[in-house]
């Protein structure tokens, strides 16, 4: 985990028992990070006014900055957005930014390689947004409507993401699925009031998506769920006060 101190932060390592192993001071500001198998660390600051002249940083295992990427041309206009930016992909680490349409992988040589680029049509954030004052720009895209990618999963066969779209007070969340072997793609709209059990994907195993499902959603919608006999038996004693449940849902073909 990391803790911020304004213009610097520390990365803390713990044992599974909760015991603190050690801390590494990092002389930069960031909202999210990812540690590579080589102990190299990637940090992302978002469009943060106080983060400096770049948004993406690479450090060695001791926290020394090795490389800076993505010039922060918006640092006098934008506020920090603390969303997850790094995701584990198909033998790669994926990277995305808020309000952007591209998904990258962290490549050898401490660089980014664009893997996918999406077109959200009328809800794509226009380029002029980046030249506007932060508040005026957000008012503009809120009236127009804007879409954003999150919760990315990438395997040899599938690319999956949550696509959130907002227009003023109206919000919509969709589960986007692309079957790369058949080149078929589709979206499933998620009603968070009634289908909250599908709003938090945490992984993919084979042809099944894995979700954290909160008990009140499952209890109130149990009659509408397409459950296997095994799942029905597992949930038979579930109450609204039960702990969250991990559910596996087969990806439709």
Write out pLDDT tens, residues 144-190: 999 999 889 999 999 999 999 999 989 999 999 999 999 999 898 88
- According to DSSP, the β-strands at 111-117 and 146-154 are unpaired
Give the per-residue pLDDT at 165. Answer: 94
Structural contact between residues 104 and 118, judged by C-beta atoms closer than 8 angstroms: no
Higher pLDDT, 67 or 9: 67
Higher pLDDT, 242 or 20: 242
Q: Is pLDDT of 4 > 60?
A: no
Give the per-residue pLDDT at 196. Answer: 66
Q: Is pLDDT of 126 > 90?
A: yes
Span 195-206, average pLDDT: 81
Average pLDDT, the chain: 85
Predicted TM-score (pTM) of the model is 0.83
Give the per-residue pLDDT at 20. Answer: 83
Q: Which residues of 195-231 are buried (b: 16+ CB within 10 A; e: fewer)?
A: bbbbbebeebeeeebbbebbbebbeebeeebeeeeeb
Q: What is the pLDDT of residues 75-108, one digit of tens each?
A: 555 666 768 899 988 888 999 999 999 999 998 7
Q: Where does the pLDDT of residue 197 fall: very low under 50, low under 70, confident under 90, or very high at 90 and above? A: low
Higher pLDDT, 61 or 81: 61
Q: Where does the pLDDT of residue 13 fall: very low under 50, low under 70, confident under 90, or very high at 90 and above? A: confident
Q: Is pLDDT of 42 > 90?
A: yes
Q: Where does the pLDDT of residue 1 fall: very low under 50, low under 70, confident under 90, or very high at 90 and above? A: very low
Give the per-residue pLDDT at 7. Answer: 62
Q: Where does the pLDDT of residue 22 fall: very low under 50, low under 70, confident under 90, or very high at 90 and above? A: confident
Give the per-residue pLDDT at 166. Answer: 93
Give the per-residue pLDDT at 27. Answer: 81
Burial of 135: CB neighbours in 10 Å, binned 0-12, 13-18, 19+ = exposed
Which one, of 101, 58, 99, lies nearest residue 77 by Cα?
Answer: 99
Higher pLDDT, 224 or 243: 243
Cα–Cα dist 1/213, whole Å: 24
Give the per-residue pLDDT at 194. Answer: 66
């Amino acid at each position: 985990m990391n803790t911020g101190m304004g213009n610097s932060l520390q990365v803390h390592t713990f044992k599974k028992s909760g015991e603190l192993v050690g801390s590494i001071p990092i002389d930069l500001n960031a909202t999210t990070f990812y540690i590579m198998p080589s102990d190299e660390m990637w940090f992302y600051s978002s469009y943060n006014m106080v983060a400096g002249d770049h948004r993406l940083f690479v450090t060695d295992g001791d926290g020394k900055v090795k490389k800076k990427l993505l010039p922060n041309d918006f640092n006098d206009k934008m506020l920090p957005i603390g969303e997850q930016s790094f995701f584990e992909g198909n033998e790669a680490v994926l990277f995305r930014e808020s309000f952007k349409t591209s998904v990258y992988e962290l490549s050898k040589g401490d660089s980014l390689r664009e893997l996918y680029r999406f077109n959200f049509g009328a809800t794509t954030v226009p380029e002029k947004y980046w030249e506007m004052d932060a508040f005026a720009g957000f008012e503009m895209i809120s009236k127009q409507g804007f879409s954003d990618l999150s919760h990315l999963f990438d395997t040899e066969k599938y690319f999956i993401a949550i696509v959130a779209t907002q227009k003023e007070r109206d919000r919509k969340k969709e589960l986007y699925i692309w079957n790369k072997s058949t080149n078929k793609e589709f979206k499933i709209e998620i009603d968070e009031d009634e289908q909250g059990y599908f709003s938090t994907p945490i992984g993919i195993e084979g042809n099944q998506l894995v979700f954290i499902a909160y008990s009140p959603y499952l209890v109130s919608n149990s009659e509408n769920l397409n459950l296997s006999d095994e799942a029905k038996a597992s949930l038979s004693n579930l109450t609204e006060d039960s702990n969250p449940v991990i559910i596996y849902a087969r990806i439709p073909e």
